Amino acid sequence: MLLITCPHCGPRDESEFSCGGEAHIARPLAENNLTDAEFADYLFLRDNPKGLFLERWRHAAGCRRWFNMARDTVTHEIVEIYPMGSGPASQAGKAAHAASWRRDTAAEAAAKPAPKARAKKEQVS
Amino acid sequence: MASEKPDHDGPDRGLSGLPGGKPKYSAFALARQAMQYHQGWQRAWRDAQPQDEYDVVIIGGGGHGLATAYYLAAVHGISRVAVVEKGWLGGGNTGRNTTIIRSNYLWDESAAIYEHALKLWEGMSQDLNFNVMFSQRGVLTIAHSEHELREMSRRVHAIRMNGIDSEILGPDEIKKFVPIINIDQTIRYPVMGGFLQKRGGTARHDAVAWGYARAADDLGVDIIQNCEVTGLRRNGRRIVGIDTSRGFIKTRKVGCVVAGHSSVVAAMADIRLPVASRPLQALVSEPIKPILDTVIMSNAVHMYISQSDKGEMVLGAGVDKYNSYAQRGSFPVPEHMISAAVELFPVLSRLRMLRHWGGIVDTCPDASPIISKTDVEGLYFNCGWGTGGFKATPGSGHVFADLIANDRPNRIAAPYALDRFQTGLLIDEHGAAGVAH
């Protein structure tokens, strides 16, 4: 049973929230340049760590706004709650973010408008 | 199309009884032991010490892992097999589920594997010389809305096309079949109808682990408990052994059947799986006299209930909404499930709860399992059974043993390969598997 502090409404019971799963998954912009396996990383594969997990939550029965949470999947300790669109601020949260295999995927690289990719496109056209 | 019959007639059940020479259980053995004050029973399996090398190592001593080891020895003649288990046999989800068995799934791929399992269940007590108390008391799934009822009749037709028994019941027939159910149409989720698989039922879950362990041990399989895997050793792209808390074990084939911890073990070989580990909760009431002789499931209100042979009402819920490895769930989930149970069965309202627990299940995006080779040669995964693995125990072990022995999936296992998450050939069973068991 979790007591979750909504950044907008304050501490509330877990039953008011819905969990949106892994946070910081960016949709690849140039998906046509990805192989099926690389796109599957974005579409189906989810991090499933035993330990600190960065995930998205929504205050579904309250303000209905999304936020991020760094939570331990063994102790259920909530280490940090931080706004959408930003990264974790705590040391443990930063380490978990950097350690995720997703940081090295082609899908994540394709989520950023990389100057290199743009140059390649110009060559083709 | 009609000629393409699913491959679930007469699975190769391997050897029957205990050909290895272990003393058999029987009425005579019981009578003989009774005369000797039950002092002469032998232990059901050896407390094996890890040897230096095995042909196959199975990680995970739950029902699926033990069944895999048994069929490797019984069907494929590979007896230099070890099962390594970090805790004790059947201490994970095998001993935590609500023991429901059925094969009424929507898609052909699912029908093939779950019916394969059900066929094996039907002969299991004889095959293993161990009473797994398989009871075909029927599994009744109820519908609470017009739409759900229509979807259900579509499912029943699909199931029957696959040669599996299922029938639709109306509220009055349900009342006759389950006298304690409330079919009042004014309740929040009224009983609009349901469908019944008469060949479904329950089995004693611990006995399944013990029966497979005893029969596998009889064929020479080493069962090593209190032995945690700490690493998967590779040489290039091939597995060469496993590191454990009790030392290194050399092997060229590793079958990984660790349910909730699949992602953790996969990470040891730099493999990523599309599974999420979630708590699944269940509880039992205090024991009472027999009032329910079947299994009732409701997908809409996330509740399933049966009565154990000891008289406890066994209730299970849906999965918790967030990832966890803690083997405990959050309170709102059983609360929701109990409120649904009491509305459907008002007679239960004053029962007290005896025990409540959670297990960690590995859920897949399409609610179907993964039975697959991996990019690492000699490393196989059987995982992703999510909320419904117990019913598949024998079928899962049977086809997984076949995959490991032959290094290629058979017709039943092939659709469950990991590459379906790249090709998009998913087996979407959220309708049939979303809740129970």
Residue B85 burial (CB < 10 Å; 0-12/13-18/19+)?
buried
- In this structure, what is the dihedral angle of CA atoms B21, B22, B24, B30, given to the nearest 10 degrees? 140
- By DSSP bridging, strand A10-13 and strand A18-22 are unpaired
* For range B247-257, the mean pLDDT: 97
Q: Is A76 in contact with B263 (Cβ distance < 8 A)? A: no
A28: which DSSP letter?
Answer: P
Q: What is the pLDDT of residue A118?
A: 52
> Residue A40 is nearest to which of B261, B331, B422, comparing CB atoms?
B422
B339 contacts chain A (CB < 8 A):
no
Cβ B94 vs Cβ B257: under 8 Å: no
pLDDT digits (tens, 9 = 90+) for B378-394: 999 999 999 989 999 99
Taking the CA of residue B311 and the nearest CA in chain A, the distance in Å comes to 30
pLDDT digits (tens, 9 = 90+) for B89-147: 999 999 999 999 999 999 999 999 999 999 999 999 999 999 999 999 999 999 999 99
Mutate to test the interface with A, among B272, B356, B370, B426 (most CBs of A within 10 A): B272
d(CA B296, CA B322): 26
Residues of B in contact with A50 (CB under 8 A): 261, 263-264, 277, 325
* Position B371 confidence tier, pLDDT thresholds 50, 70, 90: very high
Residues of B in contact with A46 (CB under 8 A): 274, 276
Residue of B nearest to A48 (CA): B276
> What's phi and psi for B332, nearest 5 deg?
-60, -25
Q: What is the pLDDT of residue B5?
A: 44
Q: What is the pLDDT of residue B4?
A: 42
Q: Is B321 in contact with A1 (Cβ distance < 8 A)? A: no
Domain boundaries, given as residue ranges, for chain A? 3-124
Residues of A in contact with B321 (CB under 8 A): 18-19
Is the pLDDT at B159 greater than 50, yes or no? yes
* Position B419 confidence tier, pLDDT thresholds 50, 70, 90: very high
Cβ B171 vs Cβ B192: under 8 Å: yes
Q: Is A74 in contact with B325 (Cβ distance < 8 A)? A: yes
Reference B127, options B223, B46, B14; nearest CA is B14
Residues of A in contact with B264 (CB under 8 A): 50
Secondary structure class of B211 (helix, strand, coil): helix
Total CB pairs under 8 A between chain A and B? 58
d(CA B36, CA A102): 63
Cβ B410 vs Cβ B402: under 8 Å: yes
Q: Is B326 in contact with A75 (Cβ distance < 8 A)? A: yes
Q: What is the pLDDT of residue B327?
A: 86
Q: What is the pLDDT of residue B32?
A: 94
Residue of A nearest to B364 (CA): A44
B278 contacts chain A (CB < 8 A):
no
Q: What is the pLDDT of residue B432?
A: 60
Cβ B212 vs Cβ B69: under 8 Å: yes
pLDDT digits (tens, 9 = 90+) for A43-86: 999 999 999 999 999 999 999 999 999 999 999 999 999 999 99
Is the pLDDT at A103 greater than 80, yes or no? yes
Q: What is the pLDDT of residue B20?
A: 86
Q: Is B263 in contact with A48 (Cβ distance < 8 A)? A: yes
B274 contacts chain A (CB < 8 A):
yes
> What's phi and psi for B130, nearest 5 deg?
-150, 125
Taking the CA of residue A28 and the nearest CA in chain B, the distance in Å comes to 16
Is the pLDDT at B348 greater than 90, yes or no? yes
Whole-prediction pTM: 0.93
B363 contacts chain A (CB < 8 A):
no
Distance between first and last Cα of chain A: 56
Taking the CA of residue A59 and the nearest CA in chain B, the distance in Å comes to 14
> Residue B422 is nearest to which of A36, A73, A74, comparing CB atoms?
A36
* Position B9 confidence tier, pLDDT thresholds 50, 70, 90: low
Residue of B nearest to A45 (CA): B274
* For range B27-53, the mean pLDDT: 93
> Residue B275 is nearest to which of A41, A48, A75, comparing CB atoms?
A48
Architecture of domain A3-124: 2-Layer Sandwich (3.30)
- In chain B, how long is the greatest CA-to-CA distance? 66
Residues of A in contact with B424 (CB under 8 A): 36
Q: Is B323 in contact with A37 (Cβ distance < 8 A)? A: no
Q: What is the pLDDT of residue A113?
A: 72
